[in-house]
């Protein structure tokens, strides 16, 4: 690892490394159907993912006018997580170039960690199914972290667990949660354009914006050179 290399690369999962929205929709709709609720389209699920299972279920119920059953949200969440954990790669694919990119970073000796709002119960089976575990000695999920994205402390806690200097770490994600967390943490960021972002990229203002993982090493170098976006109070 050279002086120009990052101290660590922290990755989001859904929408960054994997196209999981179709699989999330499949599992969610199974749970909704058991409760007599209408299914959501994949496009609608793409709009709702990123904040964790509790918010996903709440938003799904809100789409149908809410619920008079105070226990329904909990039942749906538990059913969804169970179905998803048992079918972790249903309708889910690794984005092009991801495996080559991770292999390259590992070969260069650059530490990697996963910083995701996805619950631990559904993250671990996905990592195992796609053989991602070997790349990520540290995985900090949204239901395990003390704070979760867009709170920058999620990023900083992940960096600390991998013993990385956050000044030279890079956060890689696809959405406002990832990039705003990087800004909040004072960490450089790389934003992919093919995920589930809900805001214009020029508003997010990542250090670097990429359309694919081709030439990812150059993107990392550029992110470190550009540095993090600094918010003014």
Which domains can be identified in the chain, with CATH numbers? 8-20+92-226 (3.40.50.1000), 21-86 (1.10.150.240)
Identify the pLDDT of residue 3.
54
- The mean predicted confidence, pLDDT, of the chain is 93
**Helices and strands (H and E) in the chain: how many:** 10, 8
Identify the pLDDT of residue 7.
94
For 36-59, the pLDDT digits (tens) are 999 999 999 999 887 778 889 999
**Contacts by 118-123 with C-beta closer than 8 Å and gap 24+?**
118/13, 118/14, 118/52, 118/142, 119/52, 119/53, 119/81, 119/143, 120/144, 121/81, 121/85, 122/53, 122/81, 122/84, 122/85, 122/88, 123/13
Please say if the pLDDT value at position 97 is more than 80: yes
Question: How many angstroms from the chain centroid is the CA of residue 102?
Answer: 16
* Burial tier of 18 (Cβ tally within 10 Å: 0-12, 13-18, 19+): buried
How many percent of the chain have pLDDT more than 70?
Answer: 97
pTM: 0.91
Is the Cα dihedral 77, 84, 103, 163 positive or negative? positive
- In angstroms, the CA 5 to CA 14 distance is 25
Identify the pLDDT of residue 232.
47
Model confidence at 231, pLDDT cuts 50, 70, 90, reads low
Residues designated as active site: 12
Q: Sheet harboring 138-141: ordered strands across?
A: 138-141, 112-116, 8-11, 169-173, 188-192, 208-210
Model confidence at 126, pLDDT cuts 50, 70, 90, reads very high
More reliable by pLDDT, 95 or 2: 95
Between CA 116 and CA 126, with CA 122 as vertex, the angle to 5 degrees is 85
Model confidence at 230, pLDDT cuts 50, 70, 90, reads low
In the chain, which ranges are E strands?
8-11, 18-19, 93-94, 112-116, 138-141, 169-173, 188-192, 208-210
CB 73: neighbour CB atoms within 10 A?
Answer: 17
Between CA 202 and CA 211, with CA 47 as vertex, the angle to 5 degrees is 45
**Which tokens in the block code for residue 33?**
């159907």
Give the position of tokens 């999981």. Answer: 20
Identify the pLDDT of residue 1.
46
């Amino acid at each position: 690892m050279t002086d120009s290399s990052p101290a660590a690369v922290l990755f989001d999962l859904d929408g960054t490394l994997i196209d999981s929205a179709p699989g999330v929709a499949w599992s969610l709709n199974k749970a909704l159907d058991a409760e007599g609720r209408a299914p959501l389209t994949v496009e609608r699920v793409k709009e709702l993912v990123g904040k964790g299972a509790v918010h996903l279920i709440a938003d799904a119920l809100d789409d149908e006018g809410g619920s008079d059953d105070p226990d329904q949200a909990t039942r749906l969440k538990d059913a969804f997580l169970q179905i998803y954990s048992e079918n972790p790669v249903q309708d889910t694919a690794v984005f092009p170039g991801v495996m080559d990119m991770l292999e390259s970073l590992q070969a260069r000796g650059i530490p990697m960690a996963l910083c995701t709002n996805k619950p631990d119960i559904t993250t671990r089976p996905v990592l195992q199914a796609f053989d991602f575990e070997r790349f990520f000695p540290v995985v900090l999920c949204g239901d395990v972290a003390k704070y979760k994205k867009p709170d920058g402390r999620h990023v900083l806690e992940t960096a600390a667990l991998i013993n990385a200097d956050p000044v030279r770490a890079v956060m890689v994600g696809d959405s406002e949660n990832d990039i705003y967390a990087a800004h909040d943490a004072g960490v450089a960021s790389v934003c992919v354009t093919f995920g589930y972002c809900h805001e214009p990229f020029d508003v997010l203002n990542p250090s670097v914006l990429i359309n694919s993982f081709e030439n990812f090493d150059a993107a990392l170098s550029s992110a470190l050179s550009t540095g993090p976006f600094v918010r003014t109070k």
